[in-house]
């Protein structure tokens, strides 16, 4: 068995409806249910269909991606106490990649993943499918600890990680609709154009995708389109086949050195890795570590050939804009547009959604965004809407940490750019746990420490005020401001970004 880097040889790492004991927020009842949830309730797995409610978009049910491939039932629940070498808390991509690389490094390790629902239930099975090399966090924050050279190393590793994920999917036979298609960012106001400093003019943008009002654009080739549920379920299948046990339906209630307490028994392990990202606040003692930021997505009905001609999107590149409250989109493998944006940014008391159900007004706001990008799609049917949470640290920068003295580690806080970062974080955690000193363990996010978020109601008030400011800044820029709105600069300073 490998030498685990711990000084002690102790033998023994949103869930659905996860709530806190805080006071109800405006629009929520005492059980943390929003007005929507009070009105409609949450049916099996939280899905709501057009048949439930005339004219409503199918909403929740974890995500469209999971509905497409079929929702799994939790398997291999923990039955009582046990011991293992490495206990990973959270069966999203951070936890699964960590298990994959640790097992690859030492197949003799007994690795257990403890997952409250099923592998991929969280953001990893709900995201926009941008496998991008975007920096997971703030360049200025990383530069403060590792200089500009450190930031460049992190960027280079993230670019290489896009290739790594694509290679693993090829090697392991994971069919996740992966196309290494790049991403097109568009600027739709002078202020956005100033921030983007793109190399494409309006005509060149239109040759790729006919986005209304696009003034300029930037094409980044280091990005791939993926189907999130196919990717995460594929990685879960591979690690299971290798012998890693994923105990689904097993909610962890607390973690400490050498011990993980779950609702179904206690796991003792010398290494305990917390991989909960946006769900971290649900764990005892971690309420204010990372803010569970909400993001929502809608998916259209398949477009007709005439509609695709009208929007001029013949390739499979991802699409994003430069607004402060930005949007992100992909052309799905089955010919739809999936479009995401912020919606309600944060729920009081760090609550998470119920099985991905999002607010109706968020759906309408994403409809406005879609038809503003593509007026030809006015009136198009939406087939599904859902949301999820991602983890936002107080300084908006990710961290990967492991303390050999306690055997405790964690990774996450990718601030919405986690799909690629989870892979890099998984390989970094592997090196840290194995006591290796590598290029990865020297990246600026390793061991990065951050202060906690403010208590409520300051947290709720602050985040909502922040997004009101960003929306106001976007409106001013859309109205013709030629430089980035001062309101957005103030918001960034207040946020500590």
Ligand X SMILES: Cc1cc2nc3c(=O)[nH]c(=O)nc-3n(C[C@H](O)[C@H](O)[C@H](O)COP(=O)(O)OP(=O)(O)OC[C@H]3O[C@@H](n4cnc5c(N)ncnc54)[C@H](O)[C@@H]3O)c2cc1C
Which of residues 208 and 342 has its CB atom nearest to ligand X in the complex? 342
| CA distance linking residue 169 with residue 172, whole number of Å | 5
HSE on the CB side for 378, CA within 13 Å? Answer: 4
Which of residues 344 and 481 has its CB atom nearest to ligand X in the complex? 344
The binding track of 226-265 with respect to ligand X, each residue x by CB under 6 A or -, is: -------------------------xx-------------
Which of residues 250 and 484 has its CB atom nearest to ligand X in the complex? 250
Which of residues 4 and 260 has its CB atom nearest to ligand X in the complex? 260
61, 150, 282, 292: which one binds ligand X (CB under 6 A): 282
The Cα-based distances of 245 to 3, 12, 76, 144, 349 in angstroms read 20, 17, 8, 40, 33
Please tell me whether residue 272 binds ligand X under the rule CB under 6 A. Answer: no
Are the beta carbons of 71 and 248 closer than 8 angstroms?
Answer: no
Please tell me whether residue 428 binds ligand X under the rule CB under 6 A. Answer: no
Angle 237-135-435 from CA coordinates, rounded to 5°: 60
47, 57, 71, 93: which one binds ligand X (CB under 6 A): 93
Give the nearest distance from C-beta 267 to ligand X in angstroms.
Answer: 11
Please tell me whether residue 90 binds ligand X under the rule CB under 6 A. Answer: yes
Token pair recorded at residue 268: 């003792």
Which of residues 124 and 492 has its CB atom nearest to ligand X in the complex? 124
Please tell me whether residue 423 binds ligand X under the rule CB under 6 A. Answer: no
| CA distance linking residue 254 with residue 274, whole number of Å | 10
What is residue 279's three-state secondary structure? helix
Please tell me whether residue 133 binds ligand X under the rule CB under 6 A. Answer: no
Q: Are strands 86-89 and 271-274 parallel, antiparallel or unpaired?
A: parallel
Reported as type and span, the H/E element at residue 101 is helix 93-105
HSE on the CB side for 190, CA within 13 Å? Answer: 7
Which of residues 129 and 217 has its CB atom nearest to ligand X in the complex? 129
217, 258, 320, 340: which one binds ligand X (CB under 6 A): 340
Which of 80-88, 190-198, 264-272, 382-390 is the region at the interface with ligand X (rule: CB under 6 A)? 382-390
Say if residue 128 is exposed, middle or buried (CB neighbours under 10 Å; 0-12, 13-18, 19+): buried
Give the nearest distance from C-beta 483 to ligand X in angstroms.
Answer: 28
Please tell me whether residue 287 binds ligand X under the rule CB under 6 A. Answer: no
In the 8-state DSSP scheme, what is residue 326?
Answer: -
6, 295, 307, 423: which one binds ligand X (CB under 6 A): 295
In the 8-state DSSP scheme, what is residue 294?
Answer: E
Token pair recorded at residue 241: 């086949």
Please tell me whether residue 401 binds ligand X under the rule CB under 6 A. Answer: no
Please tell me whether residue 103 binds ligand X under the rule CB under 6 A. Answer: no
Are the beta carbons of 108 and 265 closer than 8 angstroms?
Answer: no
Please tell me whether residue 132 binds ligand X under the rule CB under 6 A. Answer: yes
| Residues 174-194: b if buried by 16+ CB within 10 A, e if exposed | bebbbbebbbbbbbbbebbbb
Nearest residue to ligand X by CB is 418
The binding track of 312-331 with respect to ligand X, each residue x by CB under 6 A or -, is: ----------------x---
Give the nearest distance from C-beta 100 to ligand X in angstroms.
Answer: 12
Give the nearest distance from C-beta 203 to ligand X in angstroms.
Answer: 28
Query: What's the gap between Cα 435 and its chain centre?
Result: 28
Which of residues 36 and 115 has its CB atom nearest to ligand X in the complex? 115
Site for ligand X in 147-206 (CB under 6 A): none
184, 215, 339, 419: which one binds ligand X (CB under 6 A): 419
Please tell me whether residue 416 binds ligand X under the rule CB under 6 A. Answer: yes
DSSP 208-262: H---TT--EEEEESSEEE--HHHHHHHHHHHHHHHT-EEE-S--EEEEETTEEEE
Which of 199-207, 385-393, 402-410, 487-495 is the region at the interface with ligand X (rule: CB under 6 A)? 385-393
Q: Which residues bind ligand X (CB under 6 A)?
A: 15, 89-95, 114-117, 121-124, 126-130, 132, 251-252, 275-279, 282-283, 295, 297, 328, 340, 387-390, 412, 414, 416-420, 422
């Amino acid at each position: 068995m490998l030498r685990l880097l711990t000084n002690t040889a102790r033998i023994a790492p949103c869930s659905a409806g996860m709530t806190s004991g805080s006071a109800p927020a405006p629009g929520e009842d005492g059980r943390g249910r929003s007005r929507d949830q009070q009105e409609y309730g949450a049916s099996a797995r939280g899905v709501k269909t057009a048949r439930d409610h005339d004219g409503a978009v199918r909403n929740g049910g974890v995500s469209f991606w999971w509905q497409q491939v079929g929702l799994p039932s939790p398997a291999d629940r923990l039955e009582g106490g046990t011991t293992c070498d490495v206990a990973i808390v959270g069966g999203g991509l951070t936890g699964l990649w960590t298990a994959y690389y640790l097992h690859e490094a030492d197949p003799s390790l007994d690795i257990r993943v403890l997952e409250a629902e099923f592998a991929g239930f969280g953001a990893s099975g709900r995201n926009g499918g941008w496998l991008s090399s975007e920096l997971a966090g703030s360049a200025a924050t990383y530069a403060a600890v590792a200089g500009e050279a450190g930031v460049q190393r992190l960027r280079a590793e993230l670019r290489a990680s896009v290739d790594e994920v694509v290679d693993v999917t090829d090697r392991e036979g994971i069919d996740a609709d992966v196309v290494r298609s790049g991403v097109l960012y568009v600027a739709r106001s002078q202020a956005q154009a100033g921030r983007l400093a793109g190399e494409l003019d309006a005509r060149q943008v239109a040759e790729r995708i006919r986005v209304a009002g696009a003034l300029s654009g930037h094409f980044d080739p280091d990005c791939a389109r993926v189907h999130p549920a196919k990717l995460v379920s594929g990685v879960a299948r591979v690690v299971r086949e290798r012998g890693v046990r994923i105990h689904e339906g097993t909610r962890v209630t607390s973690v400490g050195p050498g011990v993980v307490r779950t609702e179904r028994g206690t796991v003792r392990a010398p290494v305990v890795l917390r991989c909960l990202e946006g769900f971290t606040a649900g764990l005892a003692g971690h309420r204010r570590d990372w803010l569970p930021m909400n993001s929502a997505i809608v998916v259209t009905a398949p477009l007709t050939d005439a509609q695709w001609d009208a929007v001029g999107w013949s390739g499979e590149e991802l699409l994003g804009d430069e607004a402060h409250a930005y949007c992100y989109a992909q052309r799905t493998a089955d010919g739809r547009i999936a479009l995401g944006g912020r919606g309600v940014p944060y729920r009081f008391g760090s609550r998470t959604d119920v099985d991905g159900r999002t607010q109706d007004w968020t759906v309408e706001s994403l409809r406005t965004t879609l038809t503003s990008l593509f007026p030809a799609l006015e009136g198009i049917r939406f087939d599904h809407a859902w949301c999820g949470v991602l983890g936002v640290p107080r300084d908006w920068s990710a961290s990967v940490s492991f303390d050999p003295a306690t055997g405790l580690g964690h990774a996450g806080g990718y601030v919405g750019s986690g799909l690629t970062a989870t892979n890099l974080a998984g390989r970094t955690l592997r090196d840290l746990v194995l006591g290796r000193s590598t290029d990865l363990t020297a990246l600026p996010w390793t061991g990065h420490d951050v202060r906690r978020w403010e208590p409520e109601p300051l947290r709720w008030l602050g985040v909502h005020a922040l997004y009101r400011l960003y929306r106001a800044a976007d409106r001013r820029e859309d109205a013709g401001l030629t430089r980035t709105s001062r309101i957005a600069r103030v918001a960034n300073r207040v946020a500590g970004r």
